[in-house]
Amino acid sequence: MKRLPISASRIQETIRRLAYFQAWPDDVLDSLAGGAKLLTLSKNSWLAHKGETLDRLYVVISGQLRIYLPLPNDMERVVTLVGPGDSLGEACLVLNEACPYHVVASKDSHLLAIDGMVYRQELSRHPTLTSQTLELVSRRLIGALRDVEICAQPSSVQRVAGFLMLHQPTTDTPTFKFLLPARKQDIAAKLGLTQETFSRVLGFLVKQGLIQMQGGKISVEDGQKLSQITSMRETQEPCR
């Protein structure tokens, strides 16, 4: 992880380009730019460890971060995959609490790091920002709940089906394509499965004709049936 020696104007420019800051007033952006840094993280390098105090708000410009919880058996439970335009750390900064998860770059990444003190100060100064942040955190809370719901599915097929259906653009679109947002390994870890099980389930769904797959490209052929799986009592066909 190294700090890019970039001019302040470059930072301001970057900030203004990010959707995250779209609705924020100019003077706030100027303040934020003051304590901001541009970071470059190479794949697999750490951004934060669980238990550390987080003193920055991070916004991903390019690349991808993996937020996860470490498990006893050398496994990980992926909480979120943070992509371009996404941010991380609001809740911790607001509460001034220790970081509850690990964060590492899952790809070479560029990010904006905004000083926590400045961030909190601006937050307290501008009610609009506070309510926007409230909305953001609320969205994240509800999102977390959706993830819990998927991971709580009793069978692996149901979890994967639930995951796939998250990507349908509009409800009642029976067929659609998308690219897996990360390595299958990481997605499996987000679903609470091993990569092996995830692979097998995808293979099973292909065999059933419910999806097609080539590399990371998924084509859902029958979203209808896939949704039903989620609420079915028996999922695993006799396997032959």
Partner DNA sequence: CGCGACTTTGAAGTAAATCAATGGGCGTGG
Partner DNA sequence: CCACGCCCATTGATTTACTTCAAAGTCGCG
Report the interface residues with a copy of itself, using CB under 8 A: 69, 71-73, 75, 77, 79, 90-92, 94-95, 97, 100-101, 123-124, 127, 130-131, 133-135, 137-142, 144-149, 151-154, 158, 192, 230-233
Beta bridge partners of residue 165, listed in sequence order = none
Question: Choosing among DNA, a copy of itself, none, which partner's interface includes residue 200 (Cβ < 5 to 8 Å by kind)?
Answer: DNA
CB of 39 to DNA, least distance (A): 21
Which structure tokens are listed for 206? 């292909």
CB of 186 to a copy of itself, least distance (A): 14
Closer CB to DNA, residue 133 or residue 156? Answer: 156
Give the largest CA-CA distance in the chain.
65
Question: Choosing among DNA, a copy of itself, none, which partner's interface includes residue 197 (Cβ < 5 to 8 Å by kind)?
Answer: DNA
Closer CB to DNA, residue 17 or residue 207? Answer: 207
CA distance 179 to 226: 17
Q: What is the DSSP letter of 192?
A: T
CA distance 146 to 170: 17
Residue in the block written with tokens 């203004």: 16
Of 66, 50, 51, residue with least CA distance to 105? 66
Contact positions toward DNA, by CB under 7 A?
73, 75, 154-157, 183-185, 192-200, 202-203, 213, 215, 236
Question: Choosing among DNA, a copy of itself, none, which partner's interface includes residue 1 (Cβ < 5 to 8 Å by kind)?
Answer: none
| Secondary element (H or E) of residue 186 | helix 184-191
